[in-house]
Amino acid sequence: MLDLSGPDRSRPLPRGAIGTPRMEPVRHLDPVGPMASLQARRVLQSLMRTGQEARFVGGCVRDAVLGVEASDVDIATPLPPEEVMRRLKADGIRVVPTGIKHGTVTAVLDHDSFEITTLRRDVETFGRHARVEFTDDWVADATRRDFTFNAMSLSPEGDLYDPFNGLEDLEKGRVRFVGEAQARIREDVLRILRFFRFHARFGGPEPEPTAIRACSELAHLLPTLSGERVREELLRLLDADRAVDVWRLMLDYGIVAHLLPQATRVERLAALDRLEWMVGEADPMARLAALLPKGRTTAQEVAERLKLSNAQRDRLLLLADPPVDVHPDLGIKARRHALQKLGTEPYRDLLLLAASDRGTPAAELLEPLAEAASWIIVPFPLKGQDLLDMGVPPGPEVGRILAGVEGWWAAREFQPTREECLAELRRKLAERAAGD
C-alpha cells in the first residue's frame, strides 16, 4: 500500500482549487486527421451556417494535442438536437438519433461518423442519471466532463480552449478531476475506472494524490455499477500499455477488491505482458484471463458480473478451462492436436498463458508460435449424415462412431482423405456387426 499519510496527500482538494475556468483560447492548434477531413468540414459548415459556434470536444482534442490519432471525433454545438438533425438532413448528411434525449446525434458520411452533442449543464445528479439541460455555455459543458484534459475544446479555426489547465496536467502526467474528486465520483462511480484507464495512458509514475485517494475511499460504491458499463471501461483499461502497473495500483488501493475480487494474479499478467510482443497486439480478454485463477467457476462468475457477450464469455471460459492441455513442452503431435482442436488464436493465447505460469523464456515459444501461425485447420472429412447414409440408425451411436473415426484420422496426422475415412468407417461398422 502506498503511503497516503503525508501532509500533501491528506489535504483534500478544496472546491475551486483549479481556479476560475478560462474562457479565452489558450493557443493555436490545427485540427488534424479525421478532424480535418472533408467529411468533418461538411458537418461543421452545416452546424455553423447561421453563425453558431461548433467545436471539437473531449478525447479527440486531447489526442490532437498529443499528436496521436483519435479513435472517435466528438463535436459540440449550442444548437438543440432536433435542429442539428434538421440541418444535417437538409444538407444531405445522414444522421442517426443515437442518444437524442441526452442531446447526442450521430452524423454518418461514407465511412466516417461524428457524434454531435448539444452543450449541456448539470441541474441535478443522481449517480449516472444526471438531469441535464441544454445550454449555450461552453464552460458549463466543460465543467461536466471528467478530467481536465478531457474538458478541452477546439474550434475548426484552431482556437484551443482549455478552461481547467488540462494542457499542463497532460504535460505533467496528472489525471486530475474537474472539480472536487469525491463529489465527481459520487455523481458517477464509473469515473473511478476512467481515472485508472487514463492514468494508464497519460499518467506519470505517480498517480495524482487527491484523485487516487478519492477513488480508494469510494471504491465500495463500485458494485452499484452495471456490468455493461464496467465491462466497457475495464476492457479498455486492460488494453492500455501500462495495464500491469495500473492493476498493481488498483490492487494496492483496494479497487480490485470491490471491482473484481477474483482478478488478483497480477504477476501472471506481468509475465504475459512480457511475452505478448511475440504475437503483436495485446488482447484484453487474454489479459483478463491471466488475472483470474484457473477454472470454470470463477470465469463464469466474472462473465456474469461483466455481462460479457456470449462470444466473449466463451472465449474467457476457454482460456480459463481449456478443453485440451496446451503448454510449451508439448511434443509435435500433441501440439498439432491442440491446434486442430482449438484453432490458431486460442491456442496461441493458451500457450502464452501457460508460458506465463512456467516462466518459459520467449525463445522457446518461437517454434510453436511459428507453427501455429502457419497452421491451417484441416476439417474432418466425414459428417453424421455419412453414417445415416450407411444405414446407422439416428441416435447417440452416430456421434460415438464418428468420434472413433475422427480419432483414427487424427492419429494419422489428419492425412487420410474422405475416401480413406469412409473405408475406415465401413471397416468399423463391419467389425461391430461381427461383434453383435
Is residue 206 a contact residue for Mg ion (CB under 5 A)? no
Give me Rg for the CA atoms of the chain: 28
What does the DSSP assignment read for 265-300?
-HHHHHHHHHHGGGGSS--HHHHHHHHSPSSHHHHH
Is residue 45 a contact residue for ligand ATP (CB under 6 A)? no
| Cα distance between residue 273 and residue 280, in whole Å | 11
Reduced to 3 states, what is the DSSP secondary structure of residue 155?
coil
Cα angle 339-341-344, degrees, rounded to a multiple of 5: 40
CB atoms within 10 A of CB 73: 27
What's the start-to-end Cα distance of the chain, in Å?
71
Is residue 241 a contact residue for Mg ion (CB under 5 A)? no
Give the footprint of ligand ATP on residues 173-192 (CB under 6 A): 188, 190-191
Specify the residue, 75 or 352, whose C-beta has the smaller distance to Mg ion.
75
Selected from 113, 150, 356, 360, the binder of ligand ATP by CB under 6 A is 150
Give the footprint of ligand ATP on residues 77-116 (CB under 6 A): none
Which of 335, 287, 337, 339 lies closest to 312 in space, CA to CA?
Answer: 287
Selected from 72, 267, 367, 397, the binder of Mg ion by CB under 5 A is 72
> How far apart are CB 71 and ligand ATP at their closest, in Å?
5
CA atoms within a 13 Å half-sphere pointing along the CA-CB vector of 146: 21
Count of residues touching ligand ATP (by CB under 6 A)? 12
Torsion of CA 199, 205, 206, 207, to 10 degrees: 0
**Consecutive H or E run containing 109:** strand 104-109
Give the footprint of Mg ion on residues 122-161 (CB under 5 A): none
Specify the residue, 114 or 177, whose C-beta has the smaller distance to Mg ion.
114
Selected from 59, 284, 381, 404, the binder of Mg ion by CB under 5 A is 59
Q: Which does 148 bind (CB under 5 to 8 A by kind): Mg ion, ligand ATP, none?
A: none
Do the beta carbons of residue 377 and residue 347 sit within 8 Å? no
> How far apart are CB 290 and ligand ATP at their closest, in Å?
22
> How far apart are CB 374 and Mg ion at their closest, in Å?
37
Q: Which does 141 bind (CB under 5 to 8 A by kind): ligand ATP, Mg ion, none?
A: none
Is residue 59 a contact residue for ligand ATP (CB under 6 A)? yes
Do the beta carbons of residue 124 and residue 131 sit within 8 Å? yes
Is residue 169 a contact residue for ligand ATP (CB under 6 A)? no
Selected from 21, 31, 34, 58, the binder of ligand ATP by CB under 6 A is 58
| Span from 52-60, 115-123, 260-268, 292-300 in contact with Mg ion (CB under 5 A) | 52-60
**Alpha carbon distances (Å) from 149 to 71, 107, 210, 363:** 16, 25, 16, 41
Phi, psi of 61 (to 5 degrees): -70, -45
Specify the residue, 72 or 206, whose C-beta has the smaller distance to ligand ATP.
72
Residue whose C-beta lies closest to ligand ATP: 59
Specify the residue, 175 or 372, whose C-beta has the smaller distance to ligand ATP.
175
Reduced to 3 states, what is the DSSP secondary structure of residue 148?
helix
Is residue 118 a contact residue for ligand ATP (CB under 6 A)? no
> How far apart are CB 56 and ligand ATP at their closest, in Å?
11
> How far apart are CB 222 and ligand ATP at their closest, in Å?
14
Q: Which residues of this chain interact with Mg ion, rule CB under 5 A?
A: 59, 72
Q: Which residues of this chain interact with ligand ATP, rule CB under 6 A?
A: 58-59, 71-72, 74, 145-146, 150, 188, 190-191, 194
